[in-house]
Amino acid sequence: MSVPAPEPPQPPGTRPVFVAHATYRHRRMRDAAALLPILGALLFALPLLWLGQNGGAARTSHVMIYVFAVWAGLVILSAVITRILGSGAAPQSATDDEGAADTRHS
């Protein structure tokens, strides 16, 4: 039996790409979309920690402005993520790894 020869080391900066860049970005955008409700819940709960003057409750007007600003920001952020995901920049599932390096060994 013969032992296969080890593969020669690759020069730095030429590492193989395991997933196509478009697929990687598309997956990260899906992850961001999935985490958006958690971010929203944390931001909406933040005014509960606010203290007003003399240790009392925070002013309702300030809290309502903050809640509206967070709501508007979440709407804009979700619209941007939806537009990026809907642009079709990533390949479909059948060709999900098209353009990726072949990492199979013979």
Mean residue pLDDT across the chain: 79
State pLDDT tens for residues 53-75: 788 888 899 999 999 999 999 99
Residue 20 confidence (pLDDT): 78
The structure tokens listed for 49 are 């920690």
Residue 94 confidence (pLDDT): 45
State pLDDT tens for residues 43-56: 999 998 888 778 88
The answer to whether the pTM exceeds 0.75 is: no
Indicate the SS3 state at residue 102: coil
What is the average per-residue pLDDT within 85-106? 55
- 57 half-sphere exposure, CB direction, 13 A CA radius: 5
- What residue segments make up the domains of the chain, in order of their start? 21-49+58-89
